[in-house]
Amino acid sequence: MQITSKFTIAVHIITAIDYFKDSEKVTSSFLAGSVGANPVIVRNVMGNLKESGIIDISQGKSGIKLAKELDEITLFDVYKAVDCVNDEGLFHFHENPNMDCPVGRNIHKALDEELFNIQSAMENQMKSITIAEVVKRTRREIQKEVI
């Protein structure tokens, strides 16, 4: 199973909000242009980010702003905000293994703990990376273009 693109769209949105905060009115249309995605998708992701307390959305002249400092937002926070993975987890197990087959009867027991550990390791790594780090690397790449 693949994590949906909503995750990378959300990280892109947060990074763009920070990057353009002093030079542009950041709106959903502006962000959709940056992301290169349908504005409806961008607005849905923004709704998730707002609901999670990561961004503030104002219809006035201030536009969209971050509700938290960049170093207070981790990749895991974004991952959870946009519901990349349902309650079942990252790995979706096939639903009807044959219980008359010795492999079918035992495959869950053999794999479940390992798959849980893999997902936990990934999530723990995501908890250790802040959006501040992503923004810093993005700005560094932008600077390389200027030179």
CA angle 116, 85, 49 (to 5 degrees): 135
Query: Could you tell me the sign of the dihedral formed by the alpha carbons of 116, 119, 122, 123, in that order?
Result: negative
How much is the pTM? 0.86
For the record, the structure tokens of 97 come out as: 């293994």
- pLDDT cut 90: percent of the chain above it: 69
pLDDT of 96 above 90: no
